[in-house]
Every structure is written in C-alpha cells, then in structure tokens.
Amino acid sequence: MNGLEQIKKRTGFTLIEVITTIFIMSLLMMLVLPNVNRIRQFAEKKQSEAFCHHVQNQVDLFKGQYPGYDVSLPSLAEHGFMSKAQVEQFEREKLILRGDQVKRPE
C-alpha cells in the first residue's frame, strides 16, 4: 500500500491546470489593459487642460501688472510669469497665444 500512495501523490501541476491558469490570466489582462490606457489618456487630457488654464492665469496676471505691454511667451518668461520648462511645455502642446487668450489648436 505504501508504494501505491507514493504513485498517486502529485508533485506538480498538470498540463490542464497550467493552461487553465494562463487562460484566466490572459482573459483578465484583456479586460484590464484597455481600461488602464483609457485612464491614462483621460489623465493626460486633464493635465493638459489644467496647464492651459494655468497659462491663462499667468497671462491675466501679466496683463494686470503690465497693462501697456504686449503679451508674448518671451515677455512672460522675461518678467518671471513662466519658467523655461513651462515655455517648453507650451510649445510641446502647441498652444496658441492670441492677444491675451490662450487657445488649444483645433
């Protein structure tokens, strides 16, 4: 009897168990990954909108402090209303500064 018990005792997983586990994991990944990408795109869009509002606030502050000056990226950076990194992000996002309004490209 002792030898028969040792034969029936398993030491690993069967092929069916491994395939089933891989199938379930891949199914879960197929359900999760599209949601992760959608959330990332939503966060990037919100961050871009927040940056646009921030730049608009900086333009408004500039106009309040220097009413006679024309608003431009160099003048905003020169007077300390925008940092070099913000100017680079402004150009990267291809925002448009018309008069005293910040607009997104259409």
Quickly list DSSP for 39-101: HHHHHHHHHHHHHHHHHHHHHHHHHHH-TTSPP-HHHHHHTTSS-HHHHHHHHHTT-EEETTE
Q: Is residue 43 part of a domain?
A: yes
pLDDT in tens, the chain (106 residues): 555 565 566 677 889 999 999 999 999 999 988 888 899 999 999 999 999 999 999 999 999 999 888 888 899 999 999 999 999 999 999 998 988 899 887 7
Q: How many structural domains compose the chain?
A: 1
Q: Is residue 70 part of a domain?
A: yes
Question: Domain containing 87: what range?
Answer: 14-103
pTM of the model: 0.68
